[in-house]
Amino acid sequence: MKILITGDWHLRLRRPLRRIDEDYYLVQREKVEQILKTALAEGASFILQPGDFFDSINTPYQVIVDYIDLFKKYKVTIYVVYGQHDLRYHSANVANTPLGVMKAVGVVNAVGLVIDTMFSIHGYSWNQPLLEKFELDESKFNILLLHKMIIDNEKLWTSQQDFTLAMHLLRRSGFDLIVSGDNHKSFVVESRDGKVLINCGSLMRSAVDQTDHKPVLYIFDTSNRTYKKIELKIKPAKNVLDLEGFEEEKERNLELETFIDGLDTEKDLGLNFSDNLMKALQEISDSDVVKMVEGILDEAEG
């Protein structure tokens, strides 16, 4: 049995702040279609997508309808979990969300637990705690699909604390294959006994620190536990990303990281995150950090 593995899609209509290509939506759609065509060409039984399927719960209806039509055209089985971008106010109520609509019309399958004669898929959405011990049927090929910050052996930023090491998860969980999302970096980790964790990373390059990122997918063959990487077609970073002021933005990102680390989460993160964050911003004097956070909030709420 072959499985196509992909990463965070963040499907959206408007291009991100640092993208300069006017046809961003079509570029993203073409990549999704390339994934669907590859699944059929490789004879994949299904696709595993580990959350952040959409970029926002405010995704326009035209985007949702367009992708419903696309998935109906190719008729490929897609298993998904919910990332934080797929959830309204990060709530567990998924009915009133774009991904909930996709599930309702039958073009994706939101996974809790899927048991087949040959395999099992255990799905964990964002912020859903993992079991301390999993009861796995060793006669099946056991898969864990989750949206959780997993890293290989290197933190994404120096003070990062909320993460799980890939090798630790492989060793303690017992799954034959783990497919993770949330980390936009691509990596594969394999244990000594042949268990594999694959994190494809983001489908699109949306930030200047992704100039070297190559969007990928993997084809995993359960019969011999081998996998191959397929790089998606992309243009040079200079053609799609606004690289002017890259070093300055890196410095501002460090300043933003320092600001976030200094937040009193017990006080600052209440029911209305945006309002409370803006109140916290009033207490700092760095105008560049203030402008950056305000821009992020404007885009998220727009």
191 and 98 in a common domain: yes
pLDDT for the residue numbered 73: 97
pLDDT for the residue numbered 276: 58
pLDDT beyond 50 at 82 = yes
17 and 152 in a common domain: yes
261 and 232 in a common domain: no
172 and 38 in a common domain: yes
186 and 75 in a common domain: yes
250 and 150 in a common domain: no
pLDDT band at 269 (very low <50, low <70, confident <90, very high): very low
180-232 pLDDT, tens digit each? 999 999 999 999 999 999 999 999 998 878 888 999 999 999 999 999 999 99
pLDDT for the residue numbered 161: 78
pLDDT for the residue numbered 300: 53
Q: How many domains does the chain have?
A: 2
Answer with the one of 220, 237, 254 that is the final residue of a domain.
237
Q: What is the pTM of this model?
A: 0.82
pLDDT band at 268 (very low <50, low <70, confident <90, very high): very low
144 and 20 in a common domain: yes
CATH assignment of the domain containing 102: 3.60.21.10
Answer with the one of 204, 237, 270 that is the final residue of a domain.
237
253 and 222 in a common domain: no
pLDDT band at 259 (very low <50, low <70, confident <90, very high): low
pLDDT for the residue numbered 117: 87
- Strands 78-80 and 109-110, sheet pairing: parallel
For residue 42, give its domain range: 2-237
More confident residue, 263 or 59: 59
79 and 44 in a common domain: yes
Instruction: Kindly state the percentage of the chain with pLDDT values over 70.
Output: 80
Q: What mean pLDDT is reported for the chain?
A: 85
269 and 150 in a common domain: no
180 and 61 in a common domain: yes
270-291 pLDDT, tens digit each? 445 555 555 665 555 555 555 6
Answer with the one of 216, 237, 258 that is the final residue of a domain.
237
284 and 220 in a common domain: no
pLDDT for the residue numbered 262: 57
pLDDT for the residue numbered 265: 47
pLDDT for the residue numbered 271: 45
Contact between 214 and 231 under an 8 Å Cβ cutoff? The reply is yes
104-142 pLDDT, tens digit each? 999 999 988 898 889 999 999 999 999 888 989 999 999
